[in-house]
Chain A
Amino acid sequence: MKKNNLIISILIFFGIIFSVSVFAKNNIAEVPAGSENTTAQAVLMAKQKDKAVQEVDRRIAFLNEAIEKIQITKKINTDQKNALIIQVQNEITFLQQLKEKIKADTDKTTLLEDRKLVVQRYKVFGLLQSEIAIIAYADKILNIADLMDPQTTNTEAKNKIADAKSKAQKAISDILVLTFDGFPQNKSVLKASKDLLTSARQELNEARVIIKQGTTQP
């Protein structure tokens, strides 16, 4: 009898130990698993937000500088200048609002949609930044041509200066009609305009050489 009680006690003891260990194991496995998932998701969202905000900030910084560049441009008319400035300001406002929304996002799905919006919106920035760079380049070419023209009576030099001017003006007029929805397909027009400016610049350099040769001759 005593022997049976001893065996039963030992079995109960091991049974309790086994139950406790299984219960403890289950608890240890369940609680940290949920916590790890939540933490990992939060870390991932923070990383995604950082990248998205970084891209948005990059665009805003460029566009802020662009406004100043447009304002000092001399060779586009006031209407064209104002239209361009309004487009840039609208985009800055849009990006600033999107940035604040991304920073405040707590839901993974909403954040994903906002990140997709940043990617889709690149067409506006992509076109604006190329347009502004080309206009700034063309503007400088036209200003230099205006300075050089009165310096010479040489027909060849004058023709080259006139060619440079018309190429720079064409580059500006070609790109100002482009639309955001057409980007990046209309990149070919942007590249063609850039090639026109490269050629215009070459014409000015050649005209400069002719003018210098003329002034150094006795």
Chain B
Amino acid sequence: MENQTSVNGQFGSFQNKKWPWIVGAVAVVGILIYFVIDGGGSLVNNWSSITEFQNTNLNQTNQTNSNNSSTENKDIDNLLNQLDLEESRVNQSLNDTPIDIMTDD
């Protein structure tokens, strides 16, 4: 009798464990229906948005790097050209002559 109860108990417990499966199946079906109705779903759209954002960001970074590199090159050219002025200043200092302040005597 005790064994019978135990078997029934175990059987009853097993039956009770079916409901999570049912809930799971309903959820899966629900999700599938959601995707069908949404035409691909906002999740896909969001994914596209994320990818698009990443690509844009990557392009912007590349563009910025390219611009920086271009600016840097222009800066170097400008700096090299400015050396003309520095050289002329050195020449000027080497050829400097003081005002003749003794000729009035």
State the A residues within 8 Å of B (CB).
44, 47-48, 51-52, 54-55, 58, 112, 115-116, 118-119, 122, 125-126, 129-130, 132-134, 136-137, 140-141, 143-144, 147-148, 151, 187, 190-191, 194, 197-198, 201, 204-205, 208
Contact A119 B76 (CB under 8 A): no
Secondary structure type dominating chain A contacts: helix
A173 to B89, CA, bound (A): 19
Residue B16 at the A interface, CB < 8 A? no
Assign chain B's interface to a size class: 20 to 34
Contact A205 B101 (CB under 8 A): no
State the B residues within 8 Å of A (CB).
72, 75-77, 79-80, 82-83, 86-87, 89-94, 96, 98-102, 104-105
Q: Which single residue of chain A is at the shortest CB-CB distance from B84?
A: A201
Residue numbers in A under 8 Å from B102 (CB-CB): 115-116, 119
What are 6 A-B residue pairs whose CB atoms fall within 8 Å in the complex? A134-B90, A137-B89, A147-B76, A148-B76, A198-B87, A208-B80
A58 to B100, CA, bound (A): 13
B86 to chain A, nearest CB (A): 4
Contact A133 B83 (CB under 8 A): no
